[in-house]
Amino acid sequence: MKACFMGLGYIGLPTAIIAAKHGIQIIGVDINPNVVEMTNQGKLHIVEPGMQELLQEVVSDGRLKASTVPEVSDAYFMVVPTPFKGNHEPDISYVESATRAIIPFLKEGDLYVIESTSPVGTTDKMTNLIFNLRPDLRDKIFIAYCPERVLPGNVIYELVHNDRVIGGVNEVSTEKAVEFYSQFVQGTLHRTNCKTAEMCKLTENSSRDVQIAFANELSLICDKAGINVWELINLANKHPRVNILQPGCGVGGHCIAVDPYFITADFPIESQIIAKAREINNYKAFWCAEKVENIMLKFELEHQRKPTIAMMGLAFKPDIDDLREAPAKYITTKVMQSCNNADILVVEPNVKEHKVFKLTDYKEAYEKADIIVFLVAHSVFKSLPYDDKKIILDFCGIYKK
């Protein structure tokens, strides 16, 4: 069995590695020659615990090879990004170009699977594209959609143990895809059709976005009412049927802050809560930045000097080094722009250096600053002593009990 993975990013590469580890011959394709070169040298270009050793193993025994172009295989997987355009319309051009790239290699009996998060109807669109260019393959290949669900940082475990939803364009396609994934997935493989599978992925991430928006909305209400939101949520969650998530400085990353737009773009009238949740979570980051700016002005008025501020954390969530779509990065940038000359110390303990921000050690920043702004609940921040002489803005619950 030979499988071709189109896209060697945060999901494509780990999936290709795990599949190779389970005895499948893999050709991993990426348009970035650096990624291809590094992968062929057994060097992981992403950060994921335990993955480096696995990559080295499957590359050195020849089970995984990377290339900038596809090769004839038995199964093809589209694992490329689906960002959104300026107007929040989904951009499926990477899925389309990856599909176009493998069309010449397709032969009777092959399996074609989209894993990329995609708007509803994408699998049908790609099916039409394939059959328009290769009418000889109509009813002779198997086509399915199978989204991933892994949490960065826990990918090796989740790729194998999570349940998966698999939706074919017809039942035989679903079965063929189930047969493929059962080679390395121990979780249950749930069969459905491709539209439901596409919508299921969008639903999972939108559901989390809506729940976080609820927590963020509570945090705004509590700030006005003078109530500790962390204590409030903890108490409300003692109810057997209530389970509120945690507020933060906004929602980041490349999934939850993006995928709901794939629903709102296609169903603008119906998706009221989903759209509002996106607005609330975006607004929370803006609100945090305004809060910092106001505290800085107040400090300056009271002390007749500009404060030193520590912006604690840049990543999109705790204990990772991934800064993509990070609200903490947005807030830090906005604060820096609004008060030039102020002494702003930027902290991100999981990143060594950054192109834009000069990074300061977290202990040093905490000691030097008058105002401490906790943006990300990194574990190391929790060991800092509480200094009541400093002004502390805790947007992520560092000091929650």
Interface ranges with ligand SAJ (CB under 6 A): 148-152, 204-205, 208, 212, 245-246, 248, 251-253, 255-256, 316-317
Among 56, 67, 72, CA closest to 17: 56
Catalytic residue among 21, 176, 194, 201: 201
CB 174 within 8 A of CB 168: yes
CB of 171 to ligand SAJ, least distance (A): 26
- What is the pairing mode between strands 111-114 and 371-374? unpaired
Least distance (Å) from ligand SAJ to the CB of residue 151? 5
Token pair of 81 as six digits: 């990004």
Q: Decide if 74 contacts 1 (C-beta within 8 A).
A: yes
- Which listed residue (4, 194, 249, 255) is catalytic? 255
| Distance of closest approach, residue 42 Cβ to ligand SAJ, in angstroms | 25
Q: Give CA–CA dist 225/203, Å, rounded.
A: 33
Residue 227 token pair: 């109530």
CA angle 202, 204, 207 (to 5 degrees): 100
Known catalytic residue at 389: no
> Which residue, 168 or 253, is less far from ligand SAJ as judged by CB?
253
The residue to which tokens 């559901």 are assigned: 207
Nearer to ligand SAJ, 205 or 360 (CB): 205
The nearest distance, CB 239 to ligand SAJ, in angstroms, is: 17
Whole-number minimum distance, CB 103 to ligand SAJ, in Å?
26
C-beta closer to ligand SAJ: residue 1 or 245: 245
Our CB check for ligand SAJ shows the closer of 168 and 252 to be: 252
Sheet with 111-114, strands from edge to edge, namely 64-67, 25-29, 2-6, 75-78, 111-114, 142-145, 164-168, 189-193
User: Following DSSP, what letter does each residue of 115-166 receive, concatenated?
Assistant: -S---TTHHHHHHHHHHHH-GGGTTTSEEEE----PPTT-HHHHHHHS-EEE
**Choice between 76 and 395, CB closer to ligand SAJ:** 395
255 assigned to active site:
yes
Catalytic residues: 201, 255
